[in-house]
Amino acid sequence: MRSRPIRSIVLALSLLAGFGGSGCRTYFTVNDALTRIEPRTGYRADRRWSPARSNELLVIVAFSGGGTRAASFAYGVLEGLERTRISIDGRTVSLFDEIDHVTGVSGGSFTAAYLGLHGRGIFADFEERFLRRDVQGA
């Protein structure tokens, strides 16, 4: 009966020592400092501007995660941008046509990637090919 409290104390001290010591073994990667920056390479926003888009307006869409619901919500946002007309630089265009950058994570990245690959083609078949399928049930 007396050995039970001793075992509990030994176990608690062992766990405490193990968890406490694990922080001492953390390794941090140290990146070398950049010696020069090459403006013609890498992910630079100024390399991506399209002359067809207005210089007066910057449209960035960011789609969040959440599975198929997030992808569907992102698609709905794109439909809303397509229906929203604006007058800019003496012409009337949809906000969809003015999208400069798109980003997404998790479920929203499906819509972002499809938009990046197919542009306006997303309205032709994304709903049928992705949203109406059980992609999470597999």
φ/ψ of residue 6, rounded to 5: -65, -45
Helix (H, G, I), strand (E, B) or coil at 136: coil
Predicted local distance difference test score (pLDDT) of residue 41: 78
pLDDT digits (tens, 9 = 90+) for 16-71: 777 766 666 667 788 888 888 888 777 766 655 566 777 788 899 999 999 999 99
Comparing C-alpha atoms, which of 65, 78, 61, 57 is closest to residue 126? Answer: 78
User: What's the confidence (pLDDT) of residue 128?
Assistant: 94
pLDDT per residue over 63-81, tens digit each? 999 999 999 999 999 999 9
Task: Tell me the pTM.
Answer: 0.66
Higher pLDDT, 31 or 119: 119
